[in-house]
Amino acid sequence: MRKYIFPVFIAFMLILPFLYLPVLSAAGAWKYPSLVPESWSAAHWDRLLASRDGILPVVTLSVILSGSVALLVTVTGFIFGRLLTGCSGKRQIQAAGYLAYAFSPVIYAYCLQFFFLKAGISGTIAGVIIVQFLLFFPFSVIYFISHWGRNMVSLEELCFTLGSSRRTAWRMALIPVSVPALRTAFLQIFVFSWFDFGLTQVIGQGRVSTLSLTVWQYLAEADPYIAAAGSCLLLLPPAILMLLNEKTIRFRP
Amino acid sequence: MNIKVNNISVNRSGQQVLNGLSFELEDGHILSVMGKSGCGKTTLLRVIAGLGSSDTGNIVIGGRDVTLVPPQERGAVYLYQEALLFPHLNVLDNLSFGLRIRGEHKKSADEKARDMLEQLDLASHAAKKSEQLSGGQRQRVAFGRALLVSPAVLLLDEPFSNLDSETRAAMQQLYRKMAQERGITTIFVTHDLKEAVIMGSRLSYMEAGKLHLYDNLNSFAADTRTGMQREIGFWQSFDKK
Amino acid sequence: MSAVYRGLYYGISLLPLLAGIAYALAYSLGLAGIDTQGFTTGYWVLVLRSQETWTSLLLSMSVALTVLLIAVPVGLILVLFYSEALENAVIRYLLFLPVSVPPLIAAFMGTEWLSASGMAGRVVSGAFGTVSPSLVNNYWHTGIIISMTMMSIPFLTILLWQYSRAEKLSGLAELATSLGATKRQILFRVAIPVLLNRALPNIGLMFVFLFGAYEVPLLLGMQSPRMISVLIAQKFRKFDLADIPQAYSLTVLYAFVVGIIAWMVSRTNRETA
């Protein structure tokens, strides 16, 4: 039992603040220094669901946006991973990937803002998808280069010597074999995109309102109750994805 | 089909891996290739399979020059230590994979695969996934999969080196029997002297990017490079004691 | 053909960033942008002479380093001494769950828990009857450090846990024991060096992330000094036209620091060698 105390304590400490979110979102009156709300209320949730043009369009946009980015980045990363496997200069490829991937998203967005303005895609959904694609693409390629190790290339060669065309080899062997890796990459990038704040804020110019930005807005308006309700919505998909795909999801601090 | 390799050279980053290598192997024979690590055995097999290119020379399989033919159309299947079964397919689907990608109907492909399962003594494992099989079973499936597409040439790169000695002996017998029944021309690379002699109807030794074929077992044994004399001497030393 | 693919990859992953940095450099030198007066080093002199710049860079590095100095040992302790508990899927899920929390919400939780009237304050008041000092927006940046540490612990623990399995740490420890090593020697001469060596590139990347963190310091930081991402973003948002070229010089400076760290990280990554 002693073996469990410390890990459980750490896990408890880490999770505690987040258990607080649903409580706050359902709190009625909660005066200092009371530890629990004096009354409960659905008012904040009602306000969230009825607020502005309603939260539904925001959630829908966020899902479509993150889904598109994840699909685009996963597919291109998978293909580039194969194309770059066996290429010389792997160290440089990785260093370039790290450089782009580790760059602060908000500063990255400011760097590109001029070009997006010139191209007329600043403040559009397409612009946000493109800027997220650019930032997450190197991560995906580096991930898939390690997926396309020697074994996958050998499988491809085996298909060839068994008489398969490149197309058939991909359709019947390489893609089915890669389904777990593709799923992990898709979920991971979906979460990156779902959480993104800096890129969407700068390139979206306030005209692309995702759930992250909406929660931010409530925080800026010093409305923690409704922000807590919004945060619950924001946390729901990643928590479910984590459950489906334990140990593979990472985050960007 | 017979196979003819003429004057193949391969230079990789300044190193002459194959150096004007030539040989001919008659239809239905199994050629054992021995040689030290790094002598170019794998490169030779990959060039014949079309998975690597050569700087000079040509390769003729069954009278057809395949030097510029892509691997898909050569009819040369290349297998190595790892069975490389598809993890998303069960044993039966792994076996029929080669037939299916050639457009054969599922029903007839499955039928042939079931036949093969019987011959491989794996009939009760049809629905298993590859990770549920032992090393020897996996290797048998890999063979069956290759044999089902009736290749013109089979290229085996130390296929048994990961197996324990008992399984290895059983696989040698099984493979030899099946290849002879079907008359499949085979090039068999191995480090193991005994295995080379058991498997090969022709014997060869590779050195300095060239392949030397022996007329018979005696001439193979007489060549000190093959290590056969040392082996015989070792066993004879017990007699003297 | 492979040169073409590599070119395409660099074109997508690096070219936009380099173009952006080049534009930033041009802007900061008065060569681009609205209302440009022609070449000038004036903005750079201003930025390099400003104490705000150096304080911000130093602050960002110190925060990142402090977070790692707390989170890495906690991760190591969990992985090395509590491996049995980590084998339990439920504990692992609970421990790793916070990885799926976005920085924005971590920042929000920081304000809700660590401010004087926050949950921590309520607990202190209930237990000791005193008013707790606010841990956010303060000089020591405790709110930022606590929030970022809590986000980093799960991530680092996952990483170290995966490496401890990949490196077959238990086997190495048994081998060392059979060679006569004491428990202490195994810990300090085998386990910790093996894990840290393997995790070094990722810890380096973590440092870059933390160094450039935005949401957490935006919400939990002070007006001054500010961490580098916040400083740059705020300069970009000011309406004073002289601030924008300065923001661009700071961007170039930030990119330079990140470039050096990324280069060092790629050198330590033995997987790529």
Q: In this structure, are residues A94 and A142 in contact, taking their beta carbons and an 8 Å threshold? A: yes
If residue B61 lies in a helix (H) or strand (E), which one and from where to where? strand B56-61
Domains of chain A and CATH, by start:
53-244 (1.10.3720.10)
C261 touching A, CB under 8 A?
yes
Of all helices (H) and strands (E), which one includes residue B76? Answer: strand B76-80
Half-sphere CA count of C102, side-chain side, radius 13 A: 29
Strand partners, B61: B3, B64
Any residues with CB less than 8 A from the CB of C243 and at least 6 apart, and which?
C235, C236
Whether the CB of B61 is below 8 Å from some CB of chain A: the reply is no
Contact (Cβ atoms closer than 8 angstroms) between residue A193 and residue A178: no
Q: What is the Cα–Cα distance from B29 to B162, expressed in whole angstroms? A: 24
Chain B contact probe: residue of A158, A165, A168, A170 with most B CBs at under 10 A = A158
- Token pair listed for A127: 């612009």
Closest CA of chain A from B151, distance in Å: 8
What string of DSSP letters covers B4-27?
A: EEEEEEEEETTEEEEEEEEEEE-T
The chains found to touch B (3+ Cβ pairs under 8 angstroms) are A
Instruction: Please give the structure tokens belonging to residue B38.
Output: 């790094």
The C-alpha of C177 sits at a distance from chain A's nearest C-alpha, in angstroms, of: 22
B81 SS3 class: coil
DSSP B2: -
Which of A157, A168, A177 is nearest residue B101 as measured by Cβ atoms?
A168
ipTM attached to this prediction = 0.89
Provide the pLDDT for residue B174: 87
Contacts A88 to B, Cβ<8 Å: none
Q: Which of C91, C123, C152 sits opposite A253 (nearest CB)?
A: C152
Q: Specify whether the CB–CB gap between C120 and C112 falls below 8 A.
A: no
Q: What is the DSSP letter of B152?
A: S
Could A103 and C255 be called an inter-chain contact, meaning their C-beta atoms sit closer than 8 Å? yes
CB atoms within 10 A of CB B192: 17
pLDDT at C273: 34
User: Looking at domain C40-268, what is its CATH homologous superfamily?
Assistant: MetI-like (1.10.3720.10)
Q: What is the DSSP letter of B127?
A: T
Instruction: Tell me which chain C residue has its CA closest to the CA of residue A212.
Output: C104
- Report in angstroms the alpha-carbon separations of A125 from A73, A204, B5: 16, 7, 60
pLDDT band at B112 (very low <50, low <70, confident <90, very high): very high
Regions in chain A scoring below 50 on pLDDT: 247, 249-253
| Cβ–Cβ below 8 Å for B76 and A161 | yes
Contacts of A160 in chain B (CB under 8 A): 50-51, 70-72
The verdict on a CB contact (< 8 Å) between B101 and A163 is yes
CA–CA gap between residue A238 and residue A136 (Å, rounded): 17
Chains in contact with A via at least 3 Cβ–Cβ pairs below 8 Å? B, C
Q: What residues in C contact A12, CB-CB < 8 Å?
A: 94
CA–CA distance, C71 with A193 (Å, rounded to integer): 25
Q: How many CB atoms lie within 10 A of CB A212?
A: 26
For chain A, the DSSP string reads -HHHHHHHHHHHHHHHHHHHHHHHHTBS---TT-SS-SSB-SHHHHHHHHSTT-HHHHHHHHHHHHHHHHHHHHHHHHHHHHHHTT-S-HHHHHHHHHHHHHS-HHHHHHHHHHHHHHTT-TTSHHHHHHHHHHHHHHHHHHHHHHHS-HHHHHHHHHHHHTT--HHHHIIIIIHHHHHHHHHHHHHHHHHHHHH--HHHHHHHTTSS--HHHHHHHHHHTT-HHHHHHHHHHHHHHHHHHHHHTTTT-----
Q: How many helices (H) and strands (E) does chain B have?
A: 8, 10
pLDDT tens figures, A14-44: 888 778 999 999 998 888 888 889 889 998 8
pLDDT at residue A51 in the model: 65
> According to the model, what pLDDT value does residue A249 have?
47
Contacts of A154 in chain B (CB under 8 A): 80, 82, 84
**Measured distance CA(A108)–CA(A234) in Å, rounded:** 24
pLDDT at site C54: 95
Which residues in chain C show pLDDT less than 50? 271-273
CB contact under 8 A, A234 and C208: no
Distance (Å, whole) CA C254 – CA C236: 14
Domains of chain B listed by start with CATH number: 3-84+153-240 (3.40.50.300)
Q: How many CB atoms lie within 10 A of CB C45?
A: 11
φ, ψ of residue C222 to 5 degrees: the values are: -90, 170
* Contact between chains at A6 and C8 (C-beta distance less than 8 A): no
Query: B53 Cβ partners below 8 Å, 6+ apart?
Result: B10, B47
How many CB atoms are located within 10 Å of the residue C40 CB? 14
Alpha carbon of residue C174 to chain centroid:
35
Determine contact, residues B133/B164, Cβ cutoff 8 Å. no
DSSP result, chain C? -HHHHHHHHHHHHTHHHHHHHHHHHHHHTTSSSTT--S--SHHHHHHHH-HHHHHHHHHHHHHHHHHHHHHHHHHHHHHHH-HHHHTSHHHHHHHHGGGG--HHHHHHHHHHHHSTTSHHHHHHHHHHSSPPPP-SSSTT-HHHHHHHHHHHHHHHHHHHHHHHHHTTHHHHHHHHHHTT--HHHIIIIIIHHHHHHHHHHHHHHHHHHHHT--HHHHHHS-SSS--HHHHHHHHHH-S-TTHHHHHHHHHHHHHHHHHHHHHHHHHH-TTT-
